[in-house]
Amino acid sequence: MQPYIVYMGDSPKGEVSASDLHVNMLQKVVGSDIAPGSLLQSYKRSFNGFVAMLTEKEAQEMAGKEEVVSVFPSEKQKLHTTKSWDFIGFPQQVKRNKLESDVIIGVLDSGIWPESHSFDDKGFGPPPTKWKGSCQVSSNFTCNNKVIGAKYYRSYGFDKEDVYDFKSPRDSDGHGTHTASIAAGGLVRDASLSGFAAGTARGGVPSARLAVYKVCWYDGCYDADILAAFDDAIADGVDVISISLGSSSRDYFKSAIAIGSFHAIRKGILTSTSAGNRGPNPKSLSSFSPWSLSVAASTIDREFFAGVRLGNGQVYEGTSINTFDLKDKLFPLLYAGDAANTSAGADSFISRLCFEEALDKNKVKGKILFCDSYDGEILGGAVGVVTPGTNVGDDAYAVPIPASSLRLEDSAKVYLYINSSRKPTATISRSKEGPNKLAPYIASFSSRGPHPYTPNILKPDLAAPGTHILAAWPPYVPVSGVDGDNRALAYNILSGTSMASPHVAAAAAYVKSFHPTWSPAAIKSALMTTAHPLSADLNPEAEFAYGAGLINPLKAAYPGLVYDVVDADYANFLCGQGYSTKLLQIVTGNRKSSCPESSAVGAAPDLNYPAFVLSASSPSDNSINHVFNRTVTNVGSPTSTYKAKLVAPAGLKITVNPSVISFTSLGEKKSYAVTVQGAVKKLVVSASLIWDDGTYQVRSPIVVYVPT
């Protein structure tokens, strides 16, 4: 028996309470006596469903009921700045709308540290009247006019292991505090991590409000809690949702994030999600619904280096955020494979990976270890760690002891030195900050497309800064995340698509502050069509690494044209994914919804997406011939004429009909068709369409690829 989520579509209608309805359904499956105790959570504010303890057989019986869309286990999901905003051309002094203080960003994460200076409410008035949420006040937690709402969710209750966490919205992990301050943290001067990345920390929309929903605990983030948070956030009145964790479900309606963000968009709320940290493998995305934003992590022009000097005088530059200073003193250098804790049953094959319990403390004490891998432990008295790294400079992080990750070729030289010296020695320098002259490019860890299940939807949608991001941190939590690291710091540097997602949530909030009536799809379109194009030379996966490009919030507020999407468009899309008319009616709450008989399963029949993606039939048949239909809405100049400009490689014939579109008023819509013909001569071929009226340039990527 385990917790299952029973998803029942749109919010319940009628006089009967949702909880009573859910108990009645359970009684028919598990029995009258057991049903009330089996129900763990009811979703009833924004959509319909519940969580219950069921056996696999009971779950299958529940899935067969007419009113049920899907039944799936509540699985555990993983959590996936002074300079990043300036780097993307969004400085502190940008034009801002006074309505920014009415925008509310909902953050679903590990909670928040409300005392951080980033969340000071000085100068803020009371929350906007549209706010319908609340603050779960406890003995150690209160909200203010900046953090206007905070709740926590633990559908299965607490157990003895929960002593590691706060039974309140307070953050004991650090991840939630970090992401919330990236999105909407206030200005804090002289912020740094022990002097690194020093400057003024700020979020993208420092005047916006925050509503925090704690769904992640010491043991992970469970689907049941994620859905409960979406249920509340939608009803509470947030404007944008940022969630930096992912799902691996293939079915849109067996993914808590896809379900939650679907109901959010129907209430006018855009959800920004992290693409995932499983790159650079293809089809490694953990977030890919077309109604949410999937965000890749790009580098910024900042790196951190820690040098390793050997006893023979050779110096090798590695990467880490090492705040410790060994004063250039040399220490014995030992290969971890020679320090196995044999009394605990470990051998050299295990000890070389530097798991603390696999190392003989007597052998490693006072030495610098050369490890074949290192997961950031303190390692029982070792002075420091040197380890090989596949992408040096891509992802430096704070370490609990002096450490440096070297290039593979340099690591081989260190290993050779150890084996050829009677008494090998080394020292590790305190890190130095330097420029990343190639930035921006997509970090190696950032998950890649193409879309694993709907081949003509571009994913990820966008890229945003996601490496070496300085943001707020709970001083209670070790900056390295390792027990025994006693540094208490108010700011930390992290990398991941988790850091990229709140950048885009903030950009969406910025656009919404100027255009409060725009739909989520219009805001998403504005962000995608104004993004900075990135170089395929630095990112061989091209758009499947960076989507439409790197966010440009300033331009996104004035996009000229937008590709809007209404409920009927998403309904047609779901039909193309194989969902029946009956399920469509349950999900949307519209009994008049129906799927056309011609729906092609797996297709996205002309969903009005601001990108064009086409897959060849197979690796052996690389010919293509397809027509895309799109509609644009004028949000730029009332009277304007746009001309189509195409950038296409040899081998592709792309035509636009009509190639000129004219408008006489704001809000006017015009439709056009793009025909793509030819043969794909490499795995990914990139082109683009730009609608240009001399003032606005509205760019959409065109991507043709060979499936693998």
What's the length of the chain? 708
Residue 224: left if φ>0, alpha if ψ -120 to 50, beta else—which one?
A: alpha
- Please tell me the number of Cα atoms within 13 Å of 572 on its side-chain side: 12
Strands 469-472 and 491-494 come out as antiparallel
10 Å CB burial of residue 309 (0-12, 13-18, 19+) is middle
CA-based nearest residue to 173, from 79, 76, 277, 241: 79
User: Residue 464 — left, alpha, or beta (φ > 0 → left; ψ -120 to 50 → alpha)?
Assistant: beta
Which residue among 175, 263, 468, 503 is the active-site one?
175
Neighbours of 488 (CB within 10 A): 12
Q: What angle do CA 376, 379, 382 make, to 5 degrees?
A: 115
Contact 691, 602 (CB under 8 A): no
Gap between the Cα atoms of 574 and 262, Å rounded: 11
CA-to-CA distance for 306 and 304, rounded, in angstroms? 7
Q: In whole angstroms, what is the distance from residue 350 CA to residue 354 CA?
A: 7
Q: Has 109 been annotated as catalytic?
A: yes
φ, ψ of residue 440 in degrees (nearest 5): -95, 140
Catalytic residue among 102, 109, 173, 223: 109
How would DSSP label each residue in 343-409? GGT--HHHHTTT-GGGB-HHHHTTSEEE-S---S---TT--EEEEE-SSTTT---B-SSSEEEE-HH
**Catalytic residue flag (residue 175):** yes
The CA distance from 240 to 232, in Å, is: 13
Pick the catalytic residue: 84, 286, 498, 688?
498
Tokens describing residue 551: 């966010």
Phi-psi region of 618 (alpha: psi -120 to 50; beta: other; left: phi over 0): beta
The secondary structure of residue 603, as a DSSP letter, is: -
Place of tokens 């991941």: 496
- 3-class DSSP state of 655: strand
- Alpha-carbon span 271 to 43, nearest angstrom: 19
| H helix runs in 442-557, sequence order | 497-514, 520-529, 543-546, 553-556
How remote is the C-alpha of 538 from its chain's centroid? Answer: 22
Q: Which residues pair with 217 in a beta bridge?
A: 220
User: Is the separation of the CB atoms in 165 and 98 below 8 Å?
Assistant: no
Torsion, CA 492, CA 496, CA 498, CA 499, rounded to 10: 50
Indicate which residues carry an active-site annotation. Answer: 109, 175, 498
